[in-house]
A and B are shown apart, each in its own frame.
Chain A
Amino acid sequence: MLLSMHGICKSFNGIPALRSASLEVGEAEVMALVGQNGAGKSTLIKILTGAYRRDEGSIAFAGEDVSFNMPAESQARGIATIYQEINLAPQRSVAENIYLSREPRRFGLIDRRAMREGAVAVLRTFNLEIDVDQPVAHFSAATRQMVAIARAVTQKARLVIMDEPTSSLDEREVAILFETIRTLKRGGVSVVFIGHRLDELYRICDSVTIMRDGKTVATGAMAEMPKLALVRHMLGKELAAFEAIAKDADEGAQRPVRLSVENAGAGVRVRNVSLTVREGEISGLAGLLGSGRTETANLIFGADRLERGEIRYKGQARSYRQPAEAIADGIGLVSEDRKVDGIIPDMSIRENMTLALLPKLARSGIVDRARQDEIVASYIAALGIRCTSPDQPIKELSGGNQQKVLLGRWLCTDPKLLIVDEPTRGIDIGAKAEILRLLRRLADEGLGVLMISSELEELLAAADRVTVLSDGTSVAVLPRRELSEAALFAAMAHQVE
């Protein structure tokens, strides 16, 4: 065994997050670590690396009992970690980020050339050709995720931990990552892989450890663990099959158009985008990373200014200068990067959830507390948000639960048009089906949904129609009946000359 963690317990403010969890990883083994949102996966990892201190339990790594006081120590011992919330210094360059804390040196000084060349070389193995002197903040979530991965694999570690590394990657990049993992494995390196997309786990992992409520409930070889059993262990109950719930597109063709975007453009990222969202439908927006989906959403929402083309909402031309104006019209946006664009970390769940609703929740400037509590309680229940109380600061929630609160933030405003940018990112399989079902139900009640997703499976399952972007241009609109993985791929790969 390379790593064995036993009887790990950890409480936050007296509330247990881990109750006797364990994890064992062998040499050159790829171990899947799965569990619902809030099961304690990330916490277990952070205890291993020394980011958190454990209350109880023992950790042995490479045959020795260890107890790391800070990540620097575990890193020095050969544990490289990609944390769930992309963990890079945003203003430092890509090259610096890859080598931070173990910079190549000459005569004690940083060898900048070696650093730059090394960074270019490793990124090339990930098919990434970017200017490594640019600050990482300049790049999209996906690129940053790849940089974080590059950082981890260049550490010559014995154990690489990946906490949801694929949540913002598309298929192409996932494939590259998996190739990397195989290479690592061949080199005798072990990997702990945390993820919510079960198919991926089956593709890459040798074994699986399943956690529920802070405990390890099952482990075994991946091949011997049928999907249903895995899900049952995770949830502690059976999951209804992930059924296709989209309705036939023709049915909606006569519905009034809620939003139409015509030849919209701004800057260089959005060149020429046209799409429509009708009342009562879920309209998908697909594309490779960097195709400009997020920017398109920002344009519609007034977070960026429209420069070319036209946006019509309920038939009227609109050009919002502020999100506030879009919100007043009944539009909501669940953004892609919840840490940067979503949560107010120190605020409670209650206040985070009702932030967009505030103007409607107040009478002459005073917040109606009773109504607020009522609304919050109902959404916590409806979305199954796992928290100790609505007063808990949102930053203490697990990633997936934060995402649910943000979804709740917009749902409670009773929007007419909801834009969701990667709505199920980091959400466990149980909750994911629940969220898609919820979106569908709301659509049935008349809501128009624009769903951006990198998961084709999700689009296939939920969307009534998918607009495909490539390089900032809408290149195809696929109605429900023409939707298939192959069709989407073909459209996404389309080159605009």
Chain B
Amino acid sequence: MTTIETQATAGTVPSGKRFFTLAGRYGTVAAFLALILFNVLFTPNFLSLQTLNVNLTQVATIVIVATGMTLVIATGGIDLSVGSLMAIGGALAPMIFMGALFPVSSMPVAVALAFILPVIATALLGLFNGLLVTRFAIQPIIATLVLFIAGRGIAQVMTNGNLQVFRNEGFQFIALGRIAGIPAQVILMIVIAAIAWAAVRHTVFGRQVIAVGGNEKAARLTGIPVHRVKLLVYMISGALAGVAGLIVVARNSASDANLVGLGMELDAIAAVAVGGTLLTGGRANIMGTLIGALVIQLVRYTLLANGVPDAAALIVKAALILLAVFIQQRAGKP
């Protein structure tokens, strides 16, 4: 109550901030809409349910991994190990229900375990990442580089590099099943993204994640359990990578430790960045990540469907990523 005037001024200033926040989100959406428009005009058979189906099922794993990545990045970290963790999760599941680890007495139980155990395993590996980052104060990019290198090796050692081929309807429901006509993996993707979105917006944990990324020292001084928050986000990222690994192997009826999740870290990080979350931490925009992933998927689809040669496609992809990030950043500024 310094001066009456102060308050009066504060009250009369138009609240234009909102508009720009909206515009910031709009940037990525605009890129997304432009892509759709392009496809409607130029891509054969674009407007069909099957196209939607193809794109949504293909983007599901990216979104799931990128959701975890968004949280990690919000704390100012990064997780390069997600692709390798997908391989580990994907390698474990078939080993469980095919009885390579322990004898299977009841298939439903084995399938349930095949869902649960791999995710627990990758969550624990995520925890390991988190421990390196917190306990040993190793920089995230290097801490997770350890499992990026070793993780795939572990998956390969477990399977001896061999392809595991299987047919198991119960397990494959996660990728091939449909609920009310919607593919199960799409539903899973939506549920995970929605939970993360709500967590960031409405929970203490979400607030803490952002505070830790925004100013770690200050966060500690306000009583935020910085280490616990970080451990948790790396664990979540690991667990979600595991889930994505399950989907990929289920979709292919085969688990190939050499290739599952290869390059996923870059796709996920690109989705996060195109979605408007700063890689420096302190922000988390889950909706943005979702749209960012859709943009990346749509770019890929567009290039494929229009027969752009791979070499040229790389260049176009590069330009589009830059453009999308650029629009998205500009839109946030006056």
Interface residues of A (CB under 8 A from B): 13-15, 36, 213, 235-237, 301, 303, 322-324, 326-328, 333, 335, 340-347, 351, 355-356, 358-359, 361-362, 365-367, 369, 380-389, 391-392, 409, 428, 430-431, 434
In the complex, chain B residues whose CB is within 8 Å of the CB of A324 = 223-225
In the complex, chain A residues whose CB is within 8 Å of the CB of B4 = 237
In the complex, chain B residues whose CB is within 8 Å of the CB of A383 = 1
Known contacts A303-B220, A323-B220, A344 near B7 by CB under 8 Å: no
17 pairs of residues in contact across A and B, judged by CB atoms under 8 Å: A237-B4, A322-B225, A323-B223, A324-B223, A333-B221, A342-B221, A346-B210, A347-B282, A351-B211, A355-B222, A356-B223, A381-B7, A384-B1, A386-B10, A389-B15, A391-B21, A434-B2
A359 with B3: CB separation less than 8 A: no
Q: Which of B203, B214, B222 contacts A365 (CB 8 A)?
A: B203
Tell me, in angstroms, the Cα distance from A335 to B218 when the chains sit together: 9
Lowest 5 CB-CB distances: which A-B pairs, in order?
A: A344-B214, A384-B2, A327-B223, A324-B223, A356-B222
Shortest CB–CB separation between residue A252 and chain B, in angstroms? 27
Q: Which of A328, A344, A389 contacts B223 (CB 8 A)?
A: A328
Q: How many A-B residue pairs have CB under 8 A?
A: 133
Q: Which of A367, A380, A381 contacts B204 (CB 8 A)?
A: A367
Tell me, in angstroms, the Cα distance from A382 to B15 when the chains sit together: 21
Known contacts A340-B217, A347-B211, A386-B10, A367 near B203 by CB under 8 Å: yes
Tell me, in angstroms, the Cα distance from A383 to B10 when the chains sit together: 13
Known contacts A13-B334, A343-B218, A367-B204, A392 near B17 by CB under 8 Å: yes
Tell me, in angstroms, the Cα distance from A12 to B215 when the chains sit together: 23
Shortest CB–CB separation between residue B109 and chain A, in angstroms? 32
Shortest CB–CB separation between residue B221 and chain A, in angstroms? 5
In the complex, chain B residues whose CB is within 8 Å of the CB of A213 = 5, 9
In the complex, chain A residues whose CB is within 8 Å of the CB of B5 = 213, 235-237
Tell me, in angstroms, the Cα distance from A382 to B6 when the chains sit together: 12
User: Which B residues, 166 to 222, have Cβ-Cβ distances below 8 Å to chain A?
Assistant: 202-205, 207-208, 210-211, 214-215, 217-222
Shortest CB–CB separation between residue A437 and chain B, in angstroms? 10
In the complex, chain B residues whose CB is within 8 Å of the CB of A333 = 221
Task: Say yes or no: is B152 at the interface (Cβ < 8 Å to chain A).
Answer: no
In the complex, chain B residues whose CB is within 8 Å of the CB of A384 = 1-3, 6-7
In the complex, chain B residues whose CB is within 8 Å of the CB of A13 = 16-17, 20, 334
Q: Which of A342, A358, A392 contacts B207 (CB 8 A)?
A: A358
Task: Say yes or no: is B319 at the interface (Cβ < 8 Å to chain A).
Answer: no
In the complex, chain B residues whose CB is within 8 Å of the CB of A361 = 204
Q: Which of B17, B210, B222 contacts A388 (CB 8 A)?
A: B17
B207 with A355: CB separation less than 8 A: yes
In the complex, chain B residues whose CB is within 8 Å of the CB of A36 = 2-3, 6
Task: Say yes or no: is B318 at the interface (Cβ < 8 Å to chain A).
Answer: no
